[in-house]
Structure formats: C-alpha cells, structure tokens
Structure 1
Amino acid sequence: MAQITEAYIDALAPNAAAIKNGRSLAKKNSFQRLCQTEDGTLIFGECKGSGKEPYSCSADFIKPDSPVFRCSCPSRQFPCKHNLGLLYAYASGSPFQTGEIPQDIADKREKAEKREERKQEAAASGEPVGASKRKTSRSALVKKMNAQLEGIDLLDKLVKQVVNGGLAALDAKSVRMLEDQAKQLGGYYIPGMQAAFRELLLLVRGCDDQEQQYTAMMDQLTILHTLIKRSRDYLTARKENEELPADTGTRLEEWIGHAWQLAELRELGLMRSSTELLQLSFRSYADEARAEYIDEGFWLPLGSDGAGDILVTRHYRPFRAAKHIREDDSCFLVVQTKELAVYPGDMNPRVRWEDMTMREPESKDYEGVKAAAKRSYPEVIKQVKNQLKSPLAYKNPVVLLHYAKLGKAGETYVLEDEQGKRLALGEIDAIRQPTLQLLPMLGAELHADQAVLVMFEHQMGSRRLTAQPLAFVTEQAVIRLLY
C-alpha cells in the first residue's frame, strides 16, 4: 500500500478547494464509519452528506501505483472531497476498524483481474503489454494531412498579409480582422500553428515599448516563417512516402499541434522504465494564445539516468473547461513510476506517466540532486545559446547549476563556478514573478558550494542572456522560490 501522507493526498486532489473540503470533513469527524481490510489494501467508510443516507466512499490500493477511488456522491471530481476526507482521516491517525471487503468492490476487483489476465495473454502472444491496437487508416491520415497543408497555405497568406501591410500599419481594427480570419485555422488540425499566429497578434497590443514590441514581433514572424516552411515540407514528404516515420527528433509535431498518445510514444521507443523523479520547482500561468492554463513542473530523474538534465511536466487546462479539469500542483515527494513517457524535444523534454507511487525524499536523494548539477558555466551557456539559435526550440531552457559562490557584483547578483566564470542573475519575462528579492533571506550556508535551478532567457532590451533562480538545492532540502 502507498505511504499515505498529507503531501501524498494533496498531490492526488483535483484542486485547492477539494483539499480544503476534504480536510474539513476529516477535522469535523463527518465519517460515521471508518474501515480497512486486514491486508491494508482497501480503506472505506461512510460520510455524512446532504441527503438522508451517508455517502459510501473507498480508496482501493490493490495496485499501489494506480489507486482507485469510488464514492456514491454525485460529484464529477475524482477523487472527490469524501475520498480525500477518508484519506486525510487515515493519515491523521483516526481509528479504522478491520472489516471485510464490500461485495461490490470485490466484484469490481474480480473484473479488473480478468482484464489484466487478458492483457497478459495478449503480451504472451507477442503483443507488448499496454500496446495499443489502434490502426490508423492510410486514407484518413492522407485526408488529414491534406487539410493541414491547406491550413498552412491559409496561415502563409495571413502572415504575408501582415508583412506586406507593414507592422506599423497594424492597429486595433486590422488586428480584429486578422483574429477573425485566424479562427478559420481551427478547422485544419493545426492548433499549434494557430496559437503561434495568435501570439503575433497579442504582441501588437501587449507592449508599451515600441522598439521592444517590433523586435518581439520580428522574432515571432521568424518562428512562423520557419514553422510554415518546415511543416509544409515535412507533411508533403510524409504524404508522398507512407514509410516515412514521424519526426521524433524535434518539437515540430507539437508545433503543428499533434497531441502525442502514450501508445505512440511506446511504439516509438520513447519510454524510460522504473524511474524516480523529484520536483524542484512548479508554476502555473495563463497562455492567452492557446487559451489555456498551463501547470508546469520541473523535475530531475534520480540516479544516473538523464545525467542531470531537467525534465518538464505540462498539464493543459483550456479556459472554457478549466473548472472541470484537475489542476496540477507542487509535489514534494519522490515520484516512482514504472514507465515514463518522454516527448520529442530539446534540452528540457516534456514527460508524462500514468501510474505512480510516492515516497518521502531522503538525504541521499538531495545529495544525488546536488551532485547532478552542471559545473561548467561556459559549457552550459554554449548549450543554451545553441538551442536559442533554433527558431522552433523552447526559448527558456531550465538548468540545474552548481556554484562555488553566490554574491553581488555591484547591484547584480552573480553565480560563480569553480573556474571563476560568472553568470548574472536577473528577472525574466517568462516567469512573470520576481524571485531575486528573496535572495537576501537565504542563510549563509547557501552562499557557497550549493546548487540552483535557473531558467534562461535572451532579453531583448539588454541583448543579454539572463538566468532567474527558481530553487536552491542543498544536501538536506530543496528551497523553492516558486511554487
């Protein structure tokens, strides 16, 4: 059974309101009955609700890395507040009686076992466990690619319309007209490219500094030009040669708007097995161009796998449906997963997992994180600059750095590596939240021989590469500046 702590329960909750309500149920002793099976794999109980009958809720840990939550309440949230309250009651040490497994849950377990047996039989016959049986129709795929190519032609016309008219001619009226035309791109299976064009239009009204605005717009036009050319060539080649594999070396498919399925990533060999990860920082922000909230976590795989490279989780919540979708949140435990999907990408590939267990971090974990930090600033800066040269690469690489010293050069905070090379710290536009103001609060032990997680950005105003600190790592803890 999973180690049920309050941090573990918080990580399961769909949102902050569910955490608050679940804690409240446990604190107010709203459970009329609290039980657990003798083997400890199932906890269940009854909770007072708004109706005459109490709600029956349970948390089934027969598969610790994939717990199943059930409740008779009408809530669409999983786990609901009653499930969370049950877990909080367990974590707080409330007395649970030993009881027999309810018959309905026993029946559901039996059905799940039969499904697992069929899955294992399929694996024994030569089909990989968890493999998808989906078969994409060649004609349907060609039809979709033809639609995408039509959409790319439309986007090309819109971009040329902006360029031929001149950036200075873009006013509120012309932007509204272009936004209406951009809506047509929604029917061509290129949502990523549509968002890239919307980003250009948002820049028209998003900056008071005209010079900086034009520079940002030119950069976005470069992205669009590159995206149009590469995606057109790529889709045309794939349409003409059905044997041509999907591009897994870059983020081109993601830029076009493809949503990678786990089955695809598995078939392409983009999986790591038996991985442990520790989250070093987390943030949520609104992406107006995509019309989505993005919950973003920065993780380091523990052990030698990954050689200290930072992985990223991104959870997308469309504005229109945000209240119905579980929010991601900060995670302070070590995540253990049997199968980690790694998306195509650059320095900080996106990752995802389905099943997991959690454990409390230990001293050796923090020591391992600190030991994995990059030590040569010239090498890191070279790697970051090489990535920034590509128009379609992620523009804000995140790196874990070791520093020999942390101090000030004039009014600027700087990191210094073991060879005396320095890196300036500053606030960057991508974060939208200051962290340097917290540095004077750091203890003296953090001024030398520690590790720091930073996000890089090439700032247009100063034309310099700037790094903003997100978290510090010692051999005992992760000290987050962002949550």
Structure 2
Amino acid sequence: MASVRQVIERWSRDQVLSLAPDLPSQKAAQSVARPGKWPVTGVCAETHVVWGECQGSGAKPYLACVDLSEPAYRCNCPSRKFPCKHALGLLLHWSAGGVPDGGEMPPWTREWLDGRRERQAKAAAQAAVTTDTTTGTEADTDAGRQEAAARRAEQREQRVTTGLLELERWLTDQVRQGVAGTRAGGHAHWDDVAKRLFDAQAPGMAGAVARLGGTLAEDDWPSRLLGEYALLYLLAAAHRGQSALPGDLAASVRSRVGFTVTREEVLAGETVRDHWDVLGRRDEEQDRLTARRVWLRGRGTGRSALVLSFAPIGQPLDASLVTGATVDADLAFYPGASPLRALVAARHAPPYTEGPPAGVTMAEALTAVSDALAGDPWLESWPLVLSGVVPARDRGWLLADAATGEGLPLHRRTGAPWTLIAVSGGHPVTVAAEWTPRGLVPLTTWDDDGRVVLL
C-alpha cells in the first residue's frame, strides 16, 4: 500500500483531459497549455496546489490555480465551464513538466485556499450546531412524524404492489400474443405502461419499461426483448414475494423497483477503507440529466465500486475522482445482494499514481461476473480488470487472453479499438473494462511506463 506522498506525482495527459467537461474544452485547454502562455507558475507539495498566470489577449493575465487533493479549481476568467480551459491548460503544462516545484505561493492563491478551508470549517460547525439545536424540537414531534411516515410508506407499498401486479398481467399478455408486431408501434408501445408504473410510485420499473424501445435498434431485437420481459417479470414476482427473500436480495429488489435509500442512511452504515484505483468513467444522458458512472477497485480488498453523480445537461459533474489515480478513502456501499454503488465517505490523503492494478485472467473475470449476477440478476454492468489480454478479431472485436485464447466480445458501439491496438502492439496488456450483457466496454489501459491511457 502506498502512504501519503511528500512529493506531488504528476498526472498524465490523459488524466488531465478526463477532467474536461466536453471535447471543445479539451481542445481549448491544449491550445493554452504552451509554455509561452505561462510566464509565472509554481506548485507547492505541502498544500498540493499548482498555480499560474496565463497570458491571454488582454493586458492582465488570467489567474488559475488547482488544489490537486480534491481536485478543486479557481480562475478569474468569465467562462461558465468547470473546470475552464485555463485550469485544464495549467494542469497540462504541469503534467508535461513545465511547472517547477516550489516557489512562493502568490497572495491570491493563498487567499483562495484559506477561504475554502474557512468555508469548510464553518459548514462543519453549522452542521454540528443544527444537530444540537434541533434535537429537543424533533423529540417533541418525533412520534407524530414517525406515524405520518409509516402511513405514507404503507400507502406507497399498496400502490407499488397494485402497479406491479398489473405489469405481470401485461407481460403475460405480451408473451401470449407474440412480439412480431411490436416494432410497428415503436416506443409508444410502452409509454402508457411506463406512465402507469410511475403513477404507482415505482420509478425504477417505469424507467426500465421506458427503455425497452432501445431493443428495437438491435438485429436480434425479438430475443433481446423477450429477455428483458423475463427480467421484468422476475423482478415483479420477486417484489411480490420479498418477505421470503434474504435481506440483501430484498434490498436489491426494492432498489430496482424504485425504493431509494437516502445518502444519510448509506453514510451511517459501515464503511470500507482501501486504496481505490479509479478505473474509468462514462457519461450518459438520462431523462434530461447527465449521469456520470465512475468505476473503482480496491487494491487490498479487491472490491469493485461504482460512484454515481448527476447534473442537468450542460452543467458540470463531479470530477473529484481522476481516472488513473489511486485514492485512500472510506467508501460506504448501498445495500444489496451484490453491493456495487457506493459513496465516498472520507478521504485520508491526496490522490496519487500507483500504476496499473493487479488484473485477473479471463476465466476469473467470468467467475466474478457470474457470482455478481447470481446475487443480482438485473445487473447491467460490472467492472473488470483483465491482465495479459490482447485485442483480437474473430467475427467482431474482442479481448482475448494471450495465454489461453479465451475472449469476451467488445460492445458493438465501441467500434474498432485502435487506441488499445496501438498501446498493445500485439503484446499482452492490462485493461480495465465495463462488462455489459452486450459486450465489454473498454475504459482504460496502461502503457509500458505504467501511465494510464483512456480508451
């Protein structure tokens, strides 16, 4: 295990670019990363802050600094993107070795850093005061609140149960009638069912039904649609018989149906401390929101984790987990039979770079996926770190074990893995990938020098 670093390790170019909010920001950052743009720069190992003055078109330079321990950013430019091109350009300049170690931190950087620490301290103090002052008041009304909450929970349970019974009948009718005419109706075929499930307060099931239209774009859509129907029926039946299920499986079922667990409840549970490798991330748009999926894997425990964040489309997402970095942190996991989603409960040191994590063979990866599916049959993805694999082609692209020839196909949407082919050069490499029922989605690999490469 690595300890707290006394010297800041530079991030790779790919790690820096992974922080950009969009592709135009990546291009703009590279244009301002030239050494001539940064006449004044410095980095402090004690505070993990890198700063610089970027010469723009105006008389006064832009002042940018980055706290690498989170990371957090500050720039006086008018850009609404976060981080802006100047903060990214400064990081690119630093990652290329253009920022000298040491130097006296300028007053504006020190002021920003002190202000952040002061705001964090005030927030913690206010939270403690709020807890103390509300304890007595809450005690007076606690019984009434609990009674009202119990009534609302009972009413919701009844609505959900009724909605899922209707869904079971509808699914039975679909299979009895056959799916041959489904394609003609398009997405509208499921809209009314999804709306009724949403009204029944089962948003998880409603979303799953609404997404069924995506199967129509596949060549094998009839078999895939029947498979999705089977999983929906299994979930509805599991909810109906949840009282007979083990506690962790019942928690998975309720989560899939749409019963949420609050952030406070998750953080109040047990945590797992480890040095977590940030394997990669993927952004996708869902219901007018952008969802960011960040995959982690513990070096000591070998556990996998998924950290989710959401933001309105066009707004910045959480970029504190840098791909390729290793974070000494406590994670709190959401309950479930195959617990995967987690929250970062606490960090114990700034992120550092450790090189590629230990991978598994193709056979071990298949065992890990099958074990996860045995606990949660509705899993749509699972992170893997594969060692000793090469990209290959056999009626489509796949990752193959260089020793045994066993392979898993790549997801069709990934296309030809040219970057991976270039890094591999025909030699075995370590690849972090996201398993899905439709194939692997490569996330990252590592070159001969141990530097992370985004795929």
Deviation at 1:154, TM superposition (A): 3.3
Question: TM-score, normalised to structure 1's length?
Answer: 0.66
On the 8 A contact 2:52/2:64 being kept in 1, the answer is yes
Deviation at 1:335, TM superposition (A): 2.2
Structure 2 gaps, min length 5: 1-6, 136-141
Paired residues for 1:116-131 under 5 Å = 116=124
On the 8 A contact 1:56/1:71 being kept in 2, the answer is yes
User: In the alignment, what sits opposite 1:240?
Assistant: none
Provide the C-alpha distance between the structure 2 equivalents of 1:267 and 1:440, rounded to a whole number of angstroms: 46
Bigger drift between 324-333 and 403-412 goes to 403-412
User: In the alignment, what sits opposite 2:377?
Assistant: 392
User: In the alignment, what sits opposite 2:268?
Assistant: 267
Q: For residues 410 and 144 of structure 1, do their structure 2 counterparts lie closer, same or farther at Cα, with a shift above 3 Å needed? A: closer
Whichever residue aligns with residue 65 of structure 1, its letter is: S
Whichever residue aligns with residue 423 of structure 1, its letter is: E
Provide the C-alpha distance between the structure 2 equivalents of 1:440 and 1:68, rounded to a whole number of angstroms: 33
On the 8 A contact 2:338/2:376 being kept in 1, the answer is no
Instruction: Give the SS at the match of 1:221.
Output: helix
User: In the alignment, what sits opposite 1:206?
Assistant: 217
Match status 1:216 vs 2:224: yes
Provide the C-alpha distance between the structure 2 equivalents of 1:471 and 1:281, rounded to a whole number of angstroms: 6
Instruction: Give the SS at the match of 1:359.
Output: coil
User: In the alignment, what sits opposite 1:252?
Assistant: 253
User: In the alignment, what sits opposite 1:359?
Assistant: 352
Provide the C-alpha distance between the structure 2 equivalents of 1:470 and 1:200, rounded to a whole number of angstroms: 26
Instruction: Give the SS at the match of 1:357.
Output: coil
Superposed CA deviations along residues 257-293 of structure 1, whole A, max 9, x for unmatched, are: 3555543222121x222x3233445555566xx6665
User: In the alignment, what sits opposite 1:423?
Assistant: 406
On the 8 A contact 1:406/1:416 being kept in 2, the answer is no
Whichever residue aligns with residue 332 of structure 2, its letter is: A
Alignment size in residue pairs: 429
Q: For residues 19 and 382 of structure 1, do their structure 2 counterparts lie closer, same or farther at Cα, with a shift above 3 Å needed? A: closer
On the 8 A contact 1:334/1:358 being kept in 2, the answer is yes
Deviation at 1:196, TM superposition (A): 1.0
Deviation at 1:374, TM superposition (A): 4.7
Question: TM-score, normalised to structure 2's length?
Answer: 0.69
Match status 1:322 vs 2:313: yes
Deviation at 1:197, TM superposition (A): 0.7
Paired residues for 1:137-156 under 5 Å = 137-138=145-146, 139-140=148-149, 142-143=151-152, 146-147=155-156, 149-151=158-160, 153-154=162-163, 156=165
User: In the alignment, what sits opposite 1:192?
Assistant: 204
Instruction: Give the SS at the match of 2:206.
Output: helix
Instruction: Give the SS at the match of 2:180.
Output: helix
Provide the C-alpha distance between the structure 2 equivalents of 1:163 and 1:248, rounded to a whole number of angstroms: 24
Q: For residues 260 and 220 of structure 1, do their structure 2 counterparts lie closer, same or farther at Cα, with a shift above 3 Å needed? A: same
Provide the C-alpha distance between the structure 1 equivalents of 2:289 and 2:366, rounded to a whole number of angstroms: 31
Provide the C-alpha distance between the structure 1 equivalents of 2:352 and 2:69, rounded to a whole number of angstroms: 11
User: In the alignment, what sits opposite 1:341?
Assistant: 332
On the 8 A contact 1:32/1:46 being kept in 2, the answer is yes
Q: Percent identity?
A: 18
Whichever residue aligns with residue 70 of structure 2, its letter is: S
Provide the C-alpha distance between the structure 2 equivalents of 1:36 and 1:467, rounded to a whole number of angstroms: 39
Instruction: Give the SS at the match of 1:219.
Output: helix
Superposed CA deviations along residues 45-88 of structure 1, whole A, max 9, x for unmatched, are: 666779997765544x4xx6335434445544433334444555
Q: For residues 200 and 65 of structure 1, do their structure 2 counterparts lie closer, same or farther at Cα, with a shift above 3 Å needed? A: same
User: In the alignment, what sits opposite 1:20?
Assistant: 27
Paired residues for 1:109-120 under 5 Å = 109-116=117-124
On the 8 A contact 1:426/1:468 being kept in 2, the answer is no
| RMSD of aligned residue pairs (Cα, Å) | 5.3
User: In the alignment, what sits opposite 2:277?
Assistant: 278
Provide the C-alpha distance between the structure 2 equivalents of 1:399 and 1:49, rounded to a whole number of angstroms: 44
Whichever residue aligns with residue 214 of structure 2, its letter is: L
Deviation at 1:217, TM superposition (A): 1.8
Instruction: Give the SS at the match of 2:360.
Output: coil
Q: For residues 24 and 150 of structure 1, do their structure 2 counterparts lie closer, same or farther at Cα, with a shift above 3 Å needed? A: same
Provide the C-alpha distance between the structure 2 equivalents of 1:329 and 1:197, rounded to a whole number of angstroms: 33
Superposed CA deviations along residues 315-341 of structure 1, whole A, max 9, x for unmatched, are: 556xxx322133869955322133223
Match status 1:305 vs 2:301: yes
On the 8 A contact 1:58/1:69 being kept in 2, the answer is yes
Q: For residues 402 and 436 of structure 1, do their structure 2 counterparts lie closer, same or farther at Cα, with a shift above 3 Å needed? A: same
On the 8 A contact 2:391/2:417 being kept in 1, the answer is no
Provide the C-alpha distance between the structure 2 equivalents of 1:39 and 1:382, rounded to a whole number of angstroms: 44
Q: For residues 345 and 247 of structure 1, do their structure 2 counterparts lie closer, same or farther at Cα, with a shift above 3 Å needed? A: closer
On the 8 A contact 2:391/2:400 being kept in 1, the answer is yes
